[in-house]
């Protein structure tokens, strides 16, 4: 019974690994000859399926703490497994999304097929920053009620939302998502936020009074409104609001 929470945590890693498989399956073209000549069938990229499994991993990651408390089986091993799973699901998998988005971005330009792999490798900064963030979290005993730096799952979910924003071309942003300079900016910003020491509030509620949880209630209202109005774009919007509210709260108390 004590290992059930750890096995549940491994589901996070399992779904993150499935996500990587889908993300790395590039588009294919099948050419066949019929009576009238050549015909081509294009199979789409499977990045969106990878995004789905990252979201499932995020749900599992959110619930594994409840499972541990349910079975009263919190352990040091469980904490390490949680971080190891997170680095795959919210570090490596989102890094592969950025790698593919960069590949598609350059492939659409002049001489795209001749683009050096060096232009794509900055995507791997994300899993490195995620690993750094998680290792720092594991040895920092002060990150119990607040965080230092953007949590890895938050950064991973921002990246995961990008292909979906592009797929549905929300607000005409597909061209922006496939702009490699925009993607480099996302990599730089999220990597900085993860490894930084910016004080960010924890979203855990010790009680439900408005006085003690006003920023969290404000964030909840923003999340509901954004989900209705912005669809997939709600994810980066809510996380940006989370960072701004955290910094505003710090400035108010200092």
Measure the CA–CA gap between 118 and 166, rounded to whole angstroms.
Answer: 24
The pLDDT value recorded for residue 27 is: 67
The pLDDT value recorded for residue 31 is: 58
Domain covering 4-197, topology:
1.20.120
The pLDDT value recorded for residue 215 is: 83
Whole-prediction pTM value? 0.88
Contact of 174 with 219, CB cutoff 8 Å: no
Backbone angles phi, psi at 31, to 5 degrees: -110, 130
Length of the chain: 254
The pLDDT value recorded for residue 12 is: 95
Residues in the chain with pLDDT values less than 50: 253-254
The pLDDT value recorded for residue 72 is: 72
CA distances 232 to 52, 56, 67, 157, 161, Å, are 12, 15, 28, 10, 6
The pLDDT value recorded for residue 207 is: 64
Convert the pLDDT of each residue in 172-190 to its tens digit.
999 999 999 999 999 999 9
Measure the CA–CA gap between 125 and 16, rounded to whole angstroms.
Answer: 18
The pLDDT value recorded for residue 32 is: 60
The pLDDT value recorded for residue 3 is: 76
The pLDDT value recorded for residue 179 is: 95
Give the 3-state secondary structure of the chain.
CCCHHHHHHHHHHHHHHHHHHHHCCCCEEEEEEECCEEEEEEECCCHHHHHHHHHHHHHHHHHHHHHHHHCCCCCHHHHHHHHHHHHHHHHHHHHHHHHHHHHHHHHCCCCHHHCCHHHCHHHHHHHHHHHHHHHHHHHCCCCCCEEECCCHHHHHHHHHHHHHHHHCCHHHCHHHHCCHHHHHHHHHHHHHHHHCCCEEECCCCCCCCHHHHHHHHHHHHHHHHHHHHHHHHHHHHHHHHHHHHHHHHHHHHC
For residue 129, the tally of other CB atoms under 10 A from its CB is 25
The pLDDT value recorded for residue 254 is: 46
Measure the CA–CA gap between 154 and 200, rounded to whole angstroms.
Answer: 12
Q: Where are the domains of the chain?
A: 4-197, 202-254
Q: Which residue has the tokens 């230092």?
A: 148
Nearest to 50 by CA among 96, 101, 107: 96
């Amino acid at each position: 019974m004590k290992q059930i929470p750890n096995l549940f945590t491994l589901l996070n890693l399992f779904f993150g690994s499935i996500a990587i498989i889908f993300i790395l399956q590039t588009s294919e073209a099948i050419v066949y000859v019929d009576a009238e000549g050549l015909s081509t069938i294009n199979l789409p990229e499977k990045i969106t399926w990878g995004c789905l499994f990252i979201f499932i991993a995020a749900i599992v990651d959110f619930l594994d703490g409840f499972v541990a408390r349910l079975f009263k089986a919190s352990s040091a091993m469980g904490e390490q497994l949680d971080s190891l799973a997170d680095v795959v699901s919210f570090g490596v998998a989102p890094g592969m999304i950025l790698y593919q988005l960069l590949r598609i971005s350059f492939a659409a330009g002049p001489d795209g097929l001749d683009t050096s792999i060096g232009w794509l490798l900055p995507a791997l900064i994300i899993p490195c920053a995620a690993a750094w963030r998680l290792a720092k979290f594991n040895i920092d005993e002060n990150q119990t009620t607040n965080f230092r730096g953007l949590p890895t799952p938050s950064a991973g979910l921002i990246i995961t939302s990008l292909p979906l924003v592009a797929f549905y071309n929300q607000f005409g942003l597909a061209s922006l998502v496939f702009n490699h300079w925009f993607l480099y900016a996302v990599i730089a910003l999220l990597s900085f936020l993860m490894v930084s020491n910016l004080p960010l509030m924890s979203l855990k509620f010790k009680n439900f009074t408005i006085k003690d949880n006003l920023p969290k209630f404000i964030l909840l209202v923003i999340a509901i409104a954004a989900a209705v109005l912005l669809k997939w774009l709600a994810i980066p919007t809510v996380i940006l609001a989370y960072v701004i509210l955290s910094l505003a709260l710090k400035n108010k108390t200092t």
